[in-house]
Structure 1
């Protein structure tokens, strides 16, 4: 018997993230065996993920499992897994908006669906949230296009545009756009010795929005510039929000610090981002000093809607809740623009009419990965 098991894989970039893509047929159906395989494939737990394909960063320790559709209104099923780096965790609690942009490209290249020129619509059933994402993929000569003029802050160069429609993802995690029924809620934070206001919104990926100034920050900080206490307070708020939403995950709701638009220098390249380029600043932070180096796609969807709901922390940071609008989010690597349209009915209930944004995506490599048989068979 071979000591290693060979697994067909592709590595895809979607937006500002990278993920290992697996065909559903190659993934064990047993949950425990599947978790062991994914952890071994990524080299987790290990802070360097040196014995696997993980890149030792939350933006690259991601997996997408693609298979035939399990419902009639979809073309493919997409299951997203966030793989822990220095912890043996495999989380299915959210959808990755950046990686979702690569699912249609992968499906077309794998001939799971037929390419139509010049644009192919791909209906993606995200099994994590039970919602349908709609992608428009540019195609030529029967294949997804790679070259194009679409530019994304945080990704060098340009590429063919992939348009993502997240209009059908409202309440995917909690069943409600505003899980607590309120645009803002008050929470007592012992570490601060006082109450602050937060907003929990569920569309794309459920998020809890926090005024950066309430945590002693400006909202324009880059990775490495936050106070150590900020991460501890943000995780306390996440756990409080999760309890009030009936969630039990370890990553959601995403903790998003927001503030008014302002000048700052971008992460990495050092380009000066001008306040006039954006509507507000936002940073995703988390436990263990986590700072997203760009911005999560699902979180951007949520923020674009939250910024147009009167009374939310996000709308206060923006300074105007009127819509529909293209919300320009100032993040560490630049600016991300997301179009959102949300309306308030006569009953006072808010509902999402439309929300979409664009990314680029391409295949970086494919081949076989090897995991130890002893790990899978233990």
Structure 2
């Protein structure tokens, strides 16, 4: 068995191994088979690998020096399916993105600069750019701090992520269908592509309150089938084609807030409900809150105005705050920032039997 250098990290509310691209095969098919073997994909517990048996803990980050003048490192996100022996590299993952900055500094890809080091990251899945501010007191990455995020116990050092050009990450347009609201089977939805392609629908229109637990939603198979039909229609309308074997667009239920936030959401990945909220999803949802004509703006009765500088999104584990700024000559370009935390869990070697790597 070939040992492969590996660092297991928590990024936000996700967890997974982070690799240097140079330590993995150059041929994509070989790389993917290796990752399936490493994670134990194809078994609901991923018992023969280091995956955690959940979409949130079956994620991989691949990092390399960037060849782009505006980035220090390149980051490829790989969603490894749990029960299916399949990977998806279409979307970005903002939670695992939290781990990329600290990893890049500790691996020597980016030199520490004083007490705070900015790492410029190009996401290869979407071609978007993100700045990560990493705490490096004394020139060393520190994971200790007082920042708390819902969905993660304890506290840690903050990692601020600023998405510089997230609009149209996969489709080239903020609203890929050309309008803020579409109707599928008579149900109004918003198809938006801001960091993550999503189809947003008001929970009540699908017979839900919007405050159900993920387990309650996952147990309602009739509801999940209805949600999947909307997702398939959205995929075609957004120019993504047949998305039956893709994890994008992500379906999102929205409802009025229960705890003083801006909006309450249930985010799907896409066939099970997230126990918290994806960072990329929060960017798009916050943008929908301040964009006139979306189902979110109509639900909130705000028509997207006045434009908010802070959006707090309630999710099953608590909430997340997204800071918004408006840039460009016309002030119409939305730039979003979030503060998350990360932690290095272990570093060493991971092994995958050669026979298993070739079995896919």
Q: TM-score, normalised by structure 1?
A: 0.90
Please give the per-residue CA displacement for 1:193-246, whole angstroms capped at 9, x wherever unaligned: xx1000011111111101101111111111221232221111111111111122
Decide which moves more: 201-210 or 74-83. 201-210
**Structure with the larger strand share:** 1
Q: What does residue 317 of structure 2 align with? A: 333
Show structure 2 runs of 5+ residues with no match. none
Q: What does residue 256 of structure 1 align with? A: 252
> Is 1:228 matched up with 2:212?
no
Q: What does residue 139 of structure 1 align with? A: 136
Q: Tell me the CA shift for residue 97 of structure 1.
A: 0.7
Q: What does residue 283 of structure 2 align with? A: 301
* 2:196 alignment partner, SS class: coil
CA contact (8 A) 1:6 1:368 kept: yes
Q: 1:46-195 maps to which residues of 2 (within 5 A)?
A: 46-188=43-185, 195=186
Q: Tell me the CA shift for residue 117 of structure 1.
A: 1.7
Q: What does residue 214 of structure 1 align with? A: 205
CA contact (8 A) 2:250 2:270 kept: no
Q: Tell me the CA shift for residue 352 of structure 1.
A: 2.7
Rounded Cα–Cα distance in structure 2 between residues aligned with 1:296 and 1:376:
30
Give the ranges of 4+ consecutive aligned residues of structure 1 lying more than 4 Å apart after TM superposition.
342-346
CA contact (8 A) 1:231 1:286 kept: no
CA contact (8 A) 2:115 2:136 kept: yes
Q: What does residue 343 of structure 2 align with? A: 362
Show structure 1 runs of 5+ residues with no match. 189-194, 263-274
Q: Tell me the CA shift for residue 282 of structure 1.
A: 0.2
CA contact (8 A) 1:305 1:352 kept: no
Q: TM-score, normalised by structure 2?
A: 0.94
CA contact (8 A) 2:55 2:269 kept: no
* 1:206 alignment partner, SS class: strand
CA contact (8 A) 1:324 1:342 kept: no
